[in-house]
Amino acid sequence: MEKVGFAQYVPNAVVNAAKDGDHEAFERLYTTYVNACYSLAFRISSDRKLAEDIVQNSFIKVIHKIGGLENPSSFGAWLKRIVANETISCLRHSKLMNITQFVESAEQSLEKEIDSEQIAYHSGTQGETEWELETLVKKLSIEQKAVLMLHQVDGYKHEEIANMFGKSISFSKVTLNRAFKKLREQIKVQGLNNGVEQNKEIRKWKKP
């Protein structure tokens, strides 16, 4: 099965050539991963123009930092982290986030790992259900959506997300918990009756 996104295969020789300043090699890296970069940036930011700027800024950073990449086979994962960090940085600087809304006492009181809760849906019209869920996710705050996407869709750990935000691990856990709570409330309000089981363990929601 052909790999997609950041898992796409690029020969180590191409990465090494790009490290040595080969423009054609860098162009190949760009064309291979640009869609994955845009998809990640847009999933988190929900802003098409900002996502485009993030992609460009990320590849500029790649130009300057690729010389320090020790393992060429890890280029995709390395690039993914650059894009994620750049997205969070842009959102913070553009003041789209209101991180101060999270109460410090809530962070301190959260001692146990929040169970990895996920959204379950069973529908005869899966496309409609996915659209409904996607619509609900868009209603989350910027930081809630960012943490949800980074943790549930892109597989980042709470510690990694916390480092991106410059916050504590509890910040990531609390934010994710609140995102799921808000989704459950919205599901109840919207009355999504297409087989959504609210009282069972929630399965992972991923964009197709």
Judge whether 208 lies within some domain.
Answer: no
Q: 137 and 62, same structural domain?
A: no
Question: Is the separation of the CB atoms in 49 and 24 below 8 Å?
Answer: no
Judge whether 84 lies within some domain.
Answer: yes
Phi and psi at 112, nearest 5°, equal: -100, 150
State the pLDDT confidence band at 116, using cuts at 50, 70 and 90: very low
pLDDT computed for residue 173 by the predictor: 93
pLDDT(199) > 60: no
pLDDT computed for residue 95 by the predictor: 53
Q: 88 and 19, same structural domain?
A: yes
Q: 43 and 9, same structural domain?
A: yes
CA distance 133 to 112: 28
Q: 137 and 80, same structural domain?
A: no
Judge whether 11 lies within some domain.
Answer: yes
Question: Is the separation of the CB atoms in 54 and 87 below 8 Å?
Answer: yes
Question: Is the separation of the CB atoms in 87 and 40 below 8 Å?
Answer: yes
Q: 105 and 89, same structural domain?
A: no
Judge whether 78 lies within some domain.
Answer: yes
Judge whether 56 lies within some domain.
Answer: yes
| Number of structural domains the chain divides into | 2
Q: 109 and 74, same structural domain?
A: no
Q: Among 53-57, 96-100, 167-171, 200-204, which range has the highest average pLDDT? A: 53-57
Give mean pLDDT, residues 69-98: 84
pLDDT(203) > 70: no
3-state helix, strand and coil shares in percent for the chain, rounded to the nearest 5: 70, 0, 30
Last residue of a domain, one of 61, 93, 125: 93
- To the nearest whole number, what is the mean pLDDT of the chain? 76
Residue 6 tokens, joined: 């950041």
pLDDT computed for residue 43 by the predictor: 86
Listed in sequence order, the residues at least 6 apart from 163 whose beta carbon sits closer than 8 Å to its beta carbon are: none
Give 188 or 40, the one with higher predicted confidence.
40
State the pLDDT confidence band at 200, using cuts at 50, 70 and 90: very low
Q: 154 and 85, same structural domain?
A: no
CA distance 68 to 145: 32
Q: 121 and 83, same structural domain?
A: no
pLDDT computed for residue 54 by the predictor: 95
Give 168 or 200, the one with higher predicted confidence.
168
Listed in sequence order, the residues at least 6 apart from 86 whose beta carbon sits closer than 8 Å to its beta carbon are: 41, 54, 57, 58, 61
pLDDT(17) > 70: yes
- Containing structural domain, residue 30: 5-93
Judge whether 204 lies within some domain.
Answer: no
Listed in sequence order, the residues at least 6 apart from 95 whose beta carbon sits closer than 8 Å to its beta carbon are: none
Judge whether 35 lies within some domain.
Answer: yes
pLDDT(194) > 60: no
pLDDT(79) > 70: yes
pLDDT(109) > 50: no
Predicted TM-score (pTM) of the model is 0.65
Q: 110 and 169, same structural domain?
A: yes
CATH of the domain at 48: 1.10.1740.10
Give 12 or 127, the one with higher predicted confidence.
12
Q: 135 and 59, same structural domain?
A: no
For residues 28-51, one letter each, b for 16 or more C-beta atoms within 10 angstroms of the residue's C-beta and e for the rest, the string is bbeebbeebbbbbbbbbbbbeebb
CA distance 58 to 70: 18
Q: 106 and 160, same structural domain?
A: yes
Last residue of a domain, one of 93, 115, 137: 93
Judge whether 207 lies within some domain.
Answer: no
CATH of the domain at 154: 1.10.10.10
Give 6 or 193, the one with higher predicted confidence.
6
Q: 113 and 48, same structural domain?
A: no
